[in-house]
Amino acid sequence: MSAPLLLLLVGLPPSPSSLRVKVWRRLRGLGAVPLKRSAYLLPDTPDRYEDFQWLAQEVQREGGDATLVRVQHIENMTDADVLRLFHEPRNADYRQLAARYRKLLQGLEKKSAAKRRRVQDELARLAKDQQRIHDIDFFDAPGGAEVRRLEEAIAMRTRKPESPRREAAVTLDLTKLRGRTWVTRPRPQVDRIASAWLIKKFIDPAATFVFAAPAQFPPQAIAFDAPNVELTHHGEDCTFETLVKRAGLRDRRVKRLAEIVHEADLRDGKYPHDEARGIDVAIRALVAASPDDHRVLEQGMTLFDGLYANTSTKG
C-alpha cells in the first residue's frame, strides 16, 4: 500500500445526540474507516481532502472539535493492517449486495412480464448500490469480485439474443477441433477455468489459451464464456455445461463436475453440492494471489484435475 493517508480527529459535544448520528452517517458515506474512537482515515487525495475539510468545518460550526492531519505511517501497524481496515467494511457491503444478486438470480426462471419488469427494476437498484460502494472502495476489496461475477451471470441469463437467426446458429463441431487458440475474458473465475480444463482434457488436447477484452478477441480464435459468443451461458446452463452438451460428453464424473461448476458459478441452488463453495473460494484465492492470468489458469486446471480424480460417479 504505502500510500499517504488523511486522519480526521473528531470531538463532539454530548448534545444534541443527533449530531453524533449525523457525523457518523457522513463518515460512513465518505468511506472513512475508524482507526480509534473519534479518529478516522481516508486515502490522501484532493477529493478526499476536500471531503474531510467540509466535514471538519461542519463539526466546528456545531460546537465540536475537528483536526485534519496528513500521515505517512501509523506506528505499530503494517500496510496490510491498514489495508484490512479499508477492506473489512467494503467486504461487508459487498456480501450484502451479493446476497441480493443471488436472490435475484434464483428467481430468474419466472417468466411473467411483471416479473421481468421487477427484475429490471431490481437490477437498476443493484447497479446504483454497487456504484455507491465502488466509489468508496479505495483499495479494491476482494468482495467486489464476487459481486461482479454474479452481475455477469445475471447479464448472461437475461441478455436477449441479437436475432433469432443468431440464436439458432450452431457452427462449431467440437469433436473436430484440434490445436486451436481459444480466447476468453481476463481474470478467469470458476466457469472460465473449468471450461478451459474441459477443453484441454476432452475436446482439444493441443489447445492454447489467450485472454482479451471481448472487443479485442482475435478473429481466428474460438471464444468462450463471453457475451454474444456461441460457447457461453445458454438458458440455465453455465459455459461448462454448454461445452459438455455440445461435445456430447457422456463421462459421469464430468457430468457431476458440471453440476458443481454450475452451483459454484451461479449459486442458484439447482445443484447443492458441498464442493462448489470450496472450489469457488480456492479459485478466487488464486486470482487474488497472482496478476498473471495464465498462471491462474494453470493452477486452476490442476485443481480440476484433482477434483475430477476425486469425484464419485455415484449420487
What pLDDT sits at residue 170?
58
Report d(CA 19, CA 25) in Å as an integer: 10
And the C-alpha cell for 223? 471464444
CA distance 124 to 122: 5
Q: Which of 146, 210, 149 lies closest to 180 in space, CA to CA?
A: 210
Neighbours of 190 (CB within 10 A): 28
Predicted TM-score (pTM) of this structure: 0.60
Look up cell 469425484; give the residue: 311
Over the chain (315 residues), what is each successive 10-residue block's mean pLDDT? 86 87 93 93 93 93 93 90 95 94 79 71 89 92 88 75 45 87 94 97 96 91 91 90 94 94 85 88 88 95 94 66
Output the CA torsion sign for 153, 158, 163, 169: positive
Q: How many CB atoms lie within 10 A of CB 222?
A: 21
Confidence at residue 168, expressed as pLDDT on a 0 to 100 scale:
41
Domain 5-71 has CATH 1.20.1070.10: no
How many C-alpha atoms does 228 have within 13 Å on its Cβ side? Answer: 7
Query: Max Cα separation, the chain?
Result: 77
Exposed, middle or buried by CB within 10 Å (0-12, 13-18, 19+), for 221?
middle
What pLDDT, on the 0 to 100 scale, is given for residue 113? 62
Answer whether 183's CB lies under 8 Å from 175's CB: no
Say what the pLDDT of residue 164 is. Answer: 40
Name the nearest CA neighbour of 59 among 14, 20, 29. Answer: 20
The full set of domain ranges for the chain reads 5-71, 79-158, 168-309
Residue 19 has what pLDDT?
87
C-alpha distance from residue 164 to each of 202, 228, 242, 313 (Å): 30, 13, 19, 38
What pLDDT, on a 0 to 100 scale, did the predictor assign at position 166?
42
Q: What's residue 163's pLDDT?
A: 44
